[in-house]
Amino acid sequence: MEYKEMQEKAMEMLAMLRGFSPDGRKTLQHDTGHDTGGELPFFEPIDEEPFYGVYEEVKSPSIDKSLQSVGVWLYHQIAGWSEWNRQWQFQSKRMDYQDLGKDNPFAVLVNVLARDNHGLSFEQVESALNAIKEELGKEPPELMWPDGFTVPARSRRGPLRPKSEDNPHNVAEPNQGFLLSEVELTPPEQAVEQLKAMFPGLDITNWETALKVGMSPAVETCRSLGIDEQRLVVFPWIKRSALARLAGLPEGAHYGGLVEQGVFPKLEKLYKERGLGFQNYRAGAMSDDRFLQMEPRTAEWVARTEKAVEGDICFSGALLDLFHGYSPNAARHETDREKRLVDGTCFAVQQMLLTQTRLQTKWEELHWWMAGDRYNEGEEPLFRFSLYCSVLDGKFRFDDDCSGHAPTACGAVVFPSGLI
């Protein structure tokens, strides 16, 4: 959830807490069958209807799950649950609350409310309200460039991520004749200018902030996982809303249609300039959920990355050979275990080639799976296939194959995201 949006939700909760009776409390006797110490402080809403509306809103699927748990917990707390039930509810979900980030204003409130296991005094709640007001009044912390990180000038090979013992899916020994091409990479500023030339009307004014927003979590994730950060391929990509506008497509157009109609014409032209052909074997079957769907965690990553920065473009860093030899199913198993790695989607991967075309120019190099997408070839929506791209017979190919297949020449693209 974006910081400003999170502030707005917290302000709603704060206003809701302020809607209590003037002295902020009333004393009730509760017969719970447990020793609660007699009188317990509780809070009486003046009007339940607006409050219930907020309760329904925090249950909405559009709200971050960690915030949902806090919102629902606060609802039960304020609505008059006994202290014993309140503590049981909190203890059973303690890990959910501990997972909240230190910059999350809800965490400030929940932590203060949870300090006393024997009841909540008005002074405690007042202290929590003051703490959250102070937190809400702050501006988001300035985003810093990762200390000591320089954007890689060349692509760099590296070791595979070991297969987990519980991974039941196919993994093949990488073919040493099909390794990642170690080539010069287009620097960020030049890549942005190239995108601007391809897409007149593209808003690039905020590209430096977008670079920080994208690379800070990527570098942090690489360092925490022991992955050489110089293996990252850094590239800009255009948001879905902006690409729809620039391609003359309706707002909310399917992301596969954005790739097919917005990205591929530009990419075909670039390959032609390099003396290579271009073939999309999924032409006409990419713009519908019946055929192409993005993995939920990948979709969440795309949405959060888009919301995190203003303007038309985002930046990301891709790891291309971390899962060389892995089938898409095997790669998904690993990213499900290590949630800071996100499966690559054709929406970002194909845009990477708009400014990093040197990476995919010949047959004898690593071919790319995009395990962040599921593809359906038949009438029944089984989605047993995944998209891949490669170069064959002097022609760039975009196609699909069985998600359980593990060709020795293929590797699944992943994005280190920092998201848990």
Q: Are residues 125 and 17 in the same domain?
A: yes
Structure tokens at 79: 């609505």
9-34 residue pLDDT tens:
555 555 544 443 333 333 222 333 33
Task: Report yes or no on 180 lying in a domain.
Answer: no
Higher pLDDT, 401 or 102: 401
Dist CA 249 CA 242 (whole Å): 10
Domain co-membership, 230 together with 104: no
Tell me what pLDDT residue 417 has: 87
Local structure of 402: helix, strand or coil: strand
Q: What is the structure's pLDDT at 82?
A: 36
- By residue count, the chain amounts to 420
Distance CA 131, CA 135 (A): 6
Which residue in this structure is represented by tokens 């899916």? 169
Residue 112 lies in a domain: yes
What's residue 308's pLDDT? 87
**Span 405-417, pLDDT tens digits:** 999 999 999 999 8
Per-residue pLDDT band for 377 (boundaries 50, 70, 90) equals: confident
Query: Are 239 and 109 in a shared domain?
Result: no
Q: Are residues 127 and 196 in the same domain?
A: no
* Residues 209, 275 within the same domain: yes
Q: Are residues 126 and 200 in the same domain?
A: no
Is the predicted pLDDT of residue 213 greater than 80, yes or no?
Answer: yes
Q: Answer whether residue 325 is part of any domain.
A: yes
Runs of H (alpha helix) within 247-370: 255-258, 264-273, 296-307, 328-337, 346-355
**Domain tally, the chain:** 2
The last residue of one of the domains, among 94, 109, 136, is 136
Q: Do 207 and 125 lie in a common domain? A: no
Beta-bridge mates of residue 414: 319, 343
The pLDDT of residue 144: 81
Gap between the Cα atoms of 147 and 134, Å rounded: 29
Residue 132 is assigned to a structural domain of this protein: yes
Are 226 and 326 members of one domain? yes
Check residue 44 and give its pLDDT.
Answer: 34
In a domain, 163, yes or no: no
CB 283 within 8 Å of CB 195: no
pLDDT band of 141, cuts 50, 70, 90: low
pLDDT tens-digit readout, 297-334: 999 999 989 988 899 999 999 999 999 999 999 999 99
Same domain, 128 and 202: no
pLDDT of 39 over the 60 cut: no
Q: How many other CB atoms are there within 10 angstroms of residue 56's CB atom?
A: 10
Residue 185 reports pLDDT greater than 60: yes
DSSP per-residue string spanning 337-392? HSTTEEE--HHHHHHHHHH-GGGS-SSSS-EEEEEEEEE--SSS----EEEEEEEE
Mean predicted lDDT score pLDDT of the chain = 77
For 354, the domain range is: 188-416
Kindly report which listed range (13-17, 94-98, 341-345) carries the lowest average pLDDT score. Answer: 94-98
What's the pLDDT tens digit per position in 121-136?
A: 555 555 655 655 565 5
Let me know whether 406 and 316 are in one domain. yes
Do 124 and 217 lie in one domain? The reply is no
Q: Output the pLDDT for position 382.
A: 81
* pLDDT, mean of residues 390-412: 96
| CA distance to 55, 63, 72, 90, 97, per residue, from 69 (Å) | 11, 10, 5, 10, 8
Distance CA 219, CA 364 (A): 29
Amino acid symbol at 98: Q
188-198 and 207-225 helices, crossing angle to 10°:
130
Q: Does any domain span residue 183?
A: no
155 contact partners, CB below 8 Å, separation of at least 6:
180, 181, 182, 183, 185, 231, 233, 320, 359
Give me the pLDDT at residue 124, please. Answer: 54
Is 284 contained in some domain?
Answer: yes
Q: Are residues 382 and 254 in the same domain?
A: yes
Distance CA 335, CA 4 (A): 29
pTM of the model: 0.71
Residue 391: other Cβ atoms inside 10 A = 18
Q: Is the pLDDT of residue 212 over 70?
A: yes
CA 344/CA 418 separation, integer angstroms? 15
- Cα dihedral 81, 87, 89, 92 in deg (nearest 10): -170
Q: What is the arithmetic mean of pLDDT over 206-222?
A: 94
Residue 71: both structure tokens together: 């919102």
Q: Does residue 176 fall inside a structural domain?
A: no
170/83 Cα distance (integer angstroms): 52
